[in-house]
Structure 1
Amino acid sequence: MSNTLYLEPFSGIAGDMLLSALCSLADAYDEVVELPAKLHLPDGRVEIQTLNKNGIVCRHINIIDTGEAHSETHSHSHDHGGHAHSHDHSPHRHLSDILALIEAGHISQRAKEIAKSIFLIIGESEARIHNIPIEKIHFHEVSGVDSILDIVGCAVLIDRLDISKCYSDPVCLGFGTVKTEHGLLPVPAPATADILKGIPTYKGDEQGERCTPTGAAILKYLQPEFTPPPTPTQEIAYGPGKKDFRAANVIRTSLLAPAKTEATEVWVVETNLDDFSGEYLGTDFQDGLIEAGALDFHLSAVQMKKGRPAILLSALSTSESRDAVADYILENSSSIGVRFHKAQRRTLARRKVAIETDYGTVLAKESEMPSGKKKTKLEYESLKELAQKNHISLQELKRNIARS
């Protein structure tokens, strides 16, 4: 069964923080400890630490670069996950090296695809910033064993938890400067800022890097909606960063209770018509609206400014058909402008059924209610055809079928 994840990055977001929180949600510590061997990374070791963040006691996945596989090393330090690492690194890996390493790992195919997608998000960002082809990108901060295990570990856990939807609060970024391979850079670092385009953020009130490229890329992969979660919280876990701030340096993750019926996102396309005859909104216009991609529509009588009577046309559509529906309305009515906004809708699971009656076969729509009970609605066109065939009125036919 797929799950919905809710993220609260009120203290920022980094790969190790997310890995720790997801590991707690999935109770998959043994699996994460085994991950270096599954990825053929002898220079990586996983330790589980217990940290206390302002009274919140939570477990942290600490990735240690042992340097065992390095033929030549050099030492440096950089900020990561709200804290600094200082250790030896092997020569920087290219994106192709990392993708090959993931493909050769002993993890599920879906986890491989998730991990590769996250690294591609970072690679595309680096290519834009440095203005070079993505295949020539060689990573700095995210090519080390710690970042690889953070990203692949999160991919394994997203797969294990079967996360299909995500909601998030805005992301705390921090401010100031961060030390990188390229020298001192502003917070957020250029790659982080590029990845987070379109995502709501705020600086917070404490200096320091609160969101890393790794954390930003994992968040971007999850494609969260920045709206209140639609269902109650079912499970909660915290992922800490090593550094201490005045506020607890943790990310809170939650699994939401499943909805009895799944909510889906639709667009409402609307326009007011105060100079258009209602006869033009008949069957032909309505059939065309459905063909353009409208899921449903309705017409309402409204009163506009200066007391003018008008018709409000409201149509529902998917994201893919929204513009086609808007174009159809503008082409086939007197409207010179439409407005649209997102909405959520819940629909019952349904199927078409054929019901045998004394008058013949009639088609119906059977829906399952949240309680599990079923309700049936006879299809109008099928009912009309059967009434004409039996030379009986629609109302009488419906009453006779209901009694039988």
Structure 2
Amino acid sequence: MNIAYLDCVGGISGEMLLAALMDGGANARELISQLNLLHLSGFEVRVTEEIKGGWRGIRLLFSVDTPFRSSYQLGDVLGLIASSSLPAPIKNTVVRIFERLACAEARVRGISPREVCFEGGQFIKSVLAVTGSCLALFMLQVERVYCSPLPVGHGPLISAGGVVPVPAPATAELMRGVPVYTVDAEGELVTADGAAIATTLAAEFGPLPPMQIAGIGYGIGAHSFPVPNLLRVFVGKKDIQGSSTGTPGSDDTVLVIETDIDDMNPEFFPYVDHLLRQAGALDVFLISTIMKKGRPGTRLTVLCPPALEEALLGIIFRETTTLGVRIRQERRRVLNRHQIQVQTPWGQVGVKVAYVEPDNPLQLSPEYEDCRRLAGSSGRPIQEIYHAARQAALDKLHD
């Protein structure tokens, strides 16, 4: 399994992560070219090598010449991503990150996520950095992300909205349920987009997991702190020994959060499902039950990484009528996975490949959203596109 570990030595931001992934093996020229799939004109990405605090690394500078509004809302980024030519998995991940960011901003401001306004110029740069980071992980075929505890400085911080504490309120909201520690640095080490990326993508927060390191990248930030303002990323493989001996998959630990509900409008469950998945749940499912006095009920079960326990509990208690939940930790075994892109007569489709040994795939699953998009544009049955993509993947893997 290909994994990445985000070592937040001196913080994390979208730009620092993208720079570190470039330094760790993602092709910078190809990445910048892929950002054109956003259909944004007039931006430039400058890649420079610098030394900060005795550490060499890559720093990115975004400049945006395209006229932009003073503020944007969540609907703007959703529309921008939906109209782009990005692969479906990238679209889905970027949307999850910005929805999570908007939900955090909405909570601290007491408004709905759709009403949150992002500052114009910084918003465009965040879209580029977040999308670029997701593209880089996709290009490196990273299947799982791990992250170190997040370092927190102190304030106050002067922003466009006035004086705010450090960490900024939305950033602090994003850190719920995540291990953090204080650093003697005045300023913002972890930005809102950095926190949104880390808490959306990371399966676990903690020390460097057992892995075979293939690449190390350093992304440099713009600030000067007593600790170097940089992010270190390790890219490599986990459970190499298990895969080579034929062990079926790798072990993982998840939380199972469960509750039975018999007094809630069932029309609300799809909305709760959406919020939980958007916040990082690995799976959500509903089971019909019979409760006390013969009343029909629904069992809501959520699988999630342990780091997201508090965030998902907040959604369940806020959005459902339950008075309590059951929580247990379970060990699971998952097949190693990566994704490839294949060409069909109607366009490109992403295919998820699951395997024990890389040269012996056990399952091939074309991306539903890609197949649906091509079915709509071509008029062909979706199952025809699905089977064509699966065959193209078989042919590609056996070449």
How far the C-alpha of 1:230 sits from its partner, in A, is 2.5
Q: Residue in 2 aligned with 1:365? A: none
Taking the TM superposition and a 5 Å limit, the aligned residue runs for 1:2-401 are 2-66=1-65, 69-70=66-67, 90-140=69-119, 144-228=123-207, 229-259=209-239, 260-261=241-242, 262-266=249-253
How far the C-alpha of 1:162 sits from its partner, in A, is 2.6
Per-residue Cα deviation, 1:310-360 (whole angstroms, up to 9, x for no partner)? xxxxxxxx969xxxxxxxxxxxxxxxxxxx9858677999xxxxxxxxxxx
Per-residue Cα deviation, 1:24-55 (whole angstroms, up to 9, x for no partner)? 22332112322553222223211111111223
1: CA distance between counterparts of 2:120 and 2:2? 31
Identity among equivalent positions (%) equals 29
Q: Residue in 2 aligned with 1:352? A: none
Residue 163 of structure 1 aligns to a residue in which SS? coil
Alignment check: 8 A CA contact 1:172 1:202 kept: yes
Give, as a single letter, the amino acid of the residue that structure 2 aligns with 1:63: F
Per-residue Cα deviation, 1:55-74 (whole angstroms, up to 9, x for no partner)? 322222211122xx32xxxx
Alignment check: 8 A CA contact 1:142 1:214 kept: no
Alignment check: 8 A CA contact 2:149 2:206 kept: no
Residue 139 of structure 1 aligns to a residue in which SS? strand
Instruction: After superposing the two structures, state which structure 1 stretch, 162-171 or 27-36, moved more.
Output: 27-36
Alignment check: 8 A CA contact 2:252 2:334 kept: no
Alignment check: 8 A CA contact 2:45 2:63 kept: yes
Q: Residue in 2 aligned with 1:400? A: none
Alignment check: 8 A CA contact 2:11 2:190 kept: yes
Listed as ranges, the gaps of 5+ residues in structure 2 are 243-248, 257-301, 305-326, 337-354, 360-399
1: CA distance between counterparts of 2:89 and 2:119? 26
Calculate the aligned-residue CA RMSD, in Å: 3.1
Listed as ranges, the gaps of 5+ residues in structure 1 are 71-88, 270-317, 321-339, 350-367, 373-404
The structure whose residues are more often helix, as a share, is 2
2: CA distance between counterparts of 1:60 and 1:217? 20
2: CA distance between counterparts of 1:129 and 1:139? 14
Cα distance change of structure 1 residues 10 and 142 upon mapping to structure 2, 3 Å threshold: farther
Per-residue Cα deviation, 1:215-249 (whole angstroms, up to 9, x for no partner)? 00000111331243022433211111022223322
Give, as a single letter, the amino acid of the residue that structure 2 aligns with 1:34: S
Cα distance change of structure 1 residues 369 and 319 upon mapping to structure 2, 3 Å threshold: closer
Residue 84 of structure 2 aligns to a residue in which SS? coil
How far the C-alpha of 1:100 sits from its partner, in A, is 0.9
2: CA distance between counterparts of 1:253 and 1:183? 33
1: CA distance between counterparts of 2:194 and 2:356? 40
Alignment check: 8 A CA contact 2:147 2:206 kept: yes
1: CA distance between counterparts of 2:103 and 2:127? 17
- TM-score, normalised to structure 1's length? 0.59
How far the C-alpha of 1:167 sits from its partner, in A, is 2.1
How far the C-alpha of 1:11 sits from its partner, in A, is 0.6
1: CA distance between counterparts of 2:144 and 2:218? 19
Number of aligned residue pairs: 266
Per-residue Cα deviation, 1:334-390 (whole angstroms, up to 9, x for no partner)? xxxxxx9858677999xxxxxxxxxxxxxxxxxx999x9xxxxxxxxxxxxxxxxxx
Residue 13 of structure 1 aligns to a residue in which SS? coil
Residue 224 of structure 1 aligns to a residue in which SS? strand
Cα distance change of structure 1 residues 347 and 154 upon mapping to structure 2, 3 Å threshold: closer
Cα distance change of structure 1 residues 41 and 232 upon mapping to structure 2, 3 Å threshold: same
How far the C-alpha of 1:91 sits from its partner, in A, is 2.2
1: CA distance between counterparts of 2:196 and 2:76? 18
2: CA distance between counterparts of 1:267 and 1:48? 38
2: CA distance between counterparts of 1:32 and 1:176? 35
Give, as a single letter, the amino acid of the residue that structure 2 aligns with 1:115: V
1: CA distance between counterparts of 2:18 and 2:71? 23
Per-residue Cα deviation, 1:10-30 (whole angstroms, up to 9, x for no partner)? 211111100101122233211
- TM-score, normalised to structure 2's length? 0.60
Give, as a single letter, the amino acid of the residue that structure 2 aligns with 1:37: N
Q: Residue in 2 aligned with 1:328? A: none
Residue 185 of structure 2 aligns to a residue in which SS? coil
Cα distance change of structure 1 residues 369 and 244 upon mapping to structure 2, 3 Å threshold: closer
